[in-house]
Structure 1
Amino acid sequence: MGTRISFKRPDGKDAEGYLAKASKANSPGVVVIQEWWGLQDQIRGVCDRLALSGYEALAPDLYSGTVIPYHDAEAANREMQSLNFIDATDQTVRGAVQYLARTGAKVGITGFCMGGAVTVIAAARVPGLTAAAAFYGLPPAEVAGPKDIRIPLQGQFANKDDYVTPDAVNAFEAGLKAAGKPYEFFRYDADHAFFNEQRDVHERKSAELAWGRLLAFLKSHLG
């Protein structure tokens, strides 16, 4: 449904990503951030689903073409550890936001796992964003803490998550509440990455509920 495109980062360098267009011109935009596996088919599928729901969706390729097989967590971790998260957010993600905002449309962001952490960082650092929705991902507090969030934030988390633990989610939520930030958090009795239908941890009921909540959040803030 979509196509691979090039777009400019604020520093003038080229970046690439997967763009799925909505049927209506000047539709709101959503930047979609990959898991640590790279720009997998599943992430492109999220873009396609968002396009069918009325959003122009762009997934920037943060690994520059590298895609990791789902079974190779060691390689995925190695690729993630080599990523400069601040450069990826301030330059590649911001470039994607600017690309989607070129028509004057509102732009939001969502991301999964590693992409969830990038989404939270973007909510603190990237101008031009209207709302952010993170799936089971949080950054280190020194990179972006609750008090740094500048836009409405939705969080969708798994209660059986060994990566982004319930305690970490509770602490971040408490920080958001204390700082008076606009947010909504949801928790599911599922495993990390429950939304990814290509993984054996996929939990359909939770994923469908999370998708509906994402669309409601985007509709509320982007239109």
Structure 2
Amino acid sequence: MCDLDGCGDQSHLPEIKVKPEDRRLFLKGLASLPLASVLAFPELSQAAAAKLDNVSIKLADGTEVSAAIALPKAEKAPTVLLIHEWWGLNDQIKAVAAELAEMGYVALAVDLYGGKVGTDAPSAKALMSAVDGDKATETLVGWVDYLKNHKQSNGKVGTMGWCFGGGWSVNASIATPVDATIVYYGYVTQKADQLKSLKGPVLGHFGTQDQNINKEMVGGFEAEMEKAGKKDSLSVNWYDANHAFANPTGARYDAEDAATAWKRTTEFLKANLS
């Protein structure tokens, strides 16, 4: 797993550079920057995250759960549910939501930690381990329903998650029908009897150097999808990269592969949600 210092030695990685003037204009809301550049700088992520509004729904037992939403200019638009990494709902995930809104999507970044965010590896692991599976499922189903019925929604929903959130992206799509599912290096150990419930296609991004989310696990997922009759709806992409290769704040970030994965992600969303 990654921690706040990264996922290993980062001395070999090229620095992400943003001109000072571009950063100033972005912070003033007068310019756009590539998503990787925004995510790499805390003050830029914070500025992007500030564009979102907080929303909430209630679960069956009366518990209130929250999320952050970014809205596009269009009156009707496809929607995307974003599920955070093991850190929790931080500015990085909110910044991705802001980027999707700029691209024309209603983007909702959910919070499965009740407002808490990990500040180091032990605290992030503790938060992740404390998640109640049934409550998380109910929460995600509730948010999918929220998006389907949002006044700006065209009725279509996609789920997207990273690591911890990647596995939950699949779980959410199993629990309630959605039109597209995206997994960034998440645990994919679901079985065929569960996967039969999937409505839309699944796009996966995985790194060949990942020691945990590896060829064996993903191969097993492919086999289970085939058993479920979903072989043709699964697209698995491998990158010569490690876990968290799409996270510019981590030491295993791979700019080229992250850009390729993002291009495939946005094309997948456009093809299945428009």
Q: Same fold per TM (> 0.5)? A: yes
> Is 1:96 equivalent to 2:96 in the alignment?
no
5 Å-filtered alignment, 1:204-223, equals 204-223=255-274
The structure-2 alpha-carbon separation of the partners of 1:122 and 1:152, relative to structure 1 and needing over 3 Å to count, comes to same
Report SS of the residue matched to 1:44: helix
Report SS of the residue matched to 2:206: strand
The structure-2 alpha-carbon separation of the partners of 1:12 and 1:98, relative to structure 1 and needing over 3 Å to count, comes to farther
Residues 37, 67 of structure 1: 8 Å contact kept: yes
5 Å-filtered alignment, 1:123-134, equals 123-127=173-177, 129-134=178-183
Q: Which residue in 2 is equivalent to 1:164? A: 213
Choose from 55, 68, 73 the match for 2:121.
73
Looking at structure 1, the residues matched to 141 and 192 of structure 2 have their Cα atoms a distance apart, in angstroms, of 17
Report SS of the residue matched to 2:104: coil
Report SS of the residue matched to 1:190: coil
Amino acid at match of 2:273: L
5 Å-filtered alignment, 1:12-91, equals 12-69=62-119, 72-89=120-137, 91=138
The structure-2 alpha-carbon separation of the partners of 1:166 and 1:48, relative to structure 1 and needing over 3 Å to count, comes to same
Looking at structure 1, the residues matched to 115 and 128 of structure 2 have their Cα atoms a distance apart, in angstroms, of 13
Deviates more, 1:103-112 or 1:44-53: 103-112
Residue by residue over 1:99-148, the C-alpha shift from the partner in whole angstroms, topping out at 9 and shown as x without a partner, is: 21113521111000000000111121123x11111111124446985445
Q: Which residue in 2 is equivalent to 1:120? A: 170
Deviates more, 1:4-13 or 1:140-149: 140-149
Residues 156, 186 of structure 1: 8 Å contact kept: yes
Task: In structure 1, list runs of 5 or more residues that go unmatched.
Answer: none
5 Å-filtered alignment, 1:117-196, equals 117-127=167-177, 129-141=178-190, 146-181=195-230, 182-196=233-247
Task: In structure 2, list runs of 5 or more residues that go unmatched.
Answer: 1-50
Residue by residue over 1:74-94, the C-alpha shift from the partner in whole angstroms, topping out at 9 and shown as x without a partner, is: 2211111110123212x2111
Rg: which structure is higher? 2
Looking at structure 2, the residues matched to 49 and 124 of structure 1 have their Cα atoms a distance apart, in angstroms, of 26
CA RMSD of aligned residues (A): 1.9
Count of residues paired in the alignment = 219
Looking at structure 2, the residues matched to 153 and 186 of structure 1 have their Cα atoms a distance apart, in angstroms, of 11
Deviates more, 1:109-118 or 1:161-170: 161-170
Residues 10, 95 of structure 1: 8 Å contact kept: no
Residue by residue over 1:158-211, the C-alpha shift from the partner in whole angstroms, topping out at 9 and shown as x without a partner, is: 111122122101111122134321111101111111111111211111111111
Report SS of the residue matched to 2:208: strand
Give the share of equivalent positions with the same residue, in percent: 37
The Cα shift of 1:60 comes to: 1.1
What TM-score, normalized by structure 1, do the two folds share? 0.91
Looking at structure 1, the residues matched to 198 and 210 of structure 2 have their Cα atoms a distance apart, in angstroms, of 23
Report SS of the residue matched to 1:59: strand
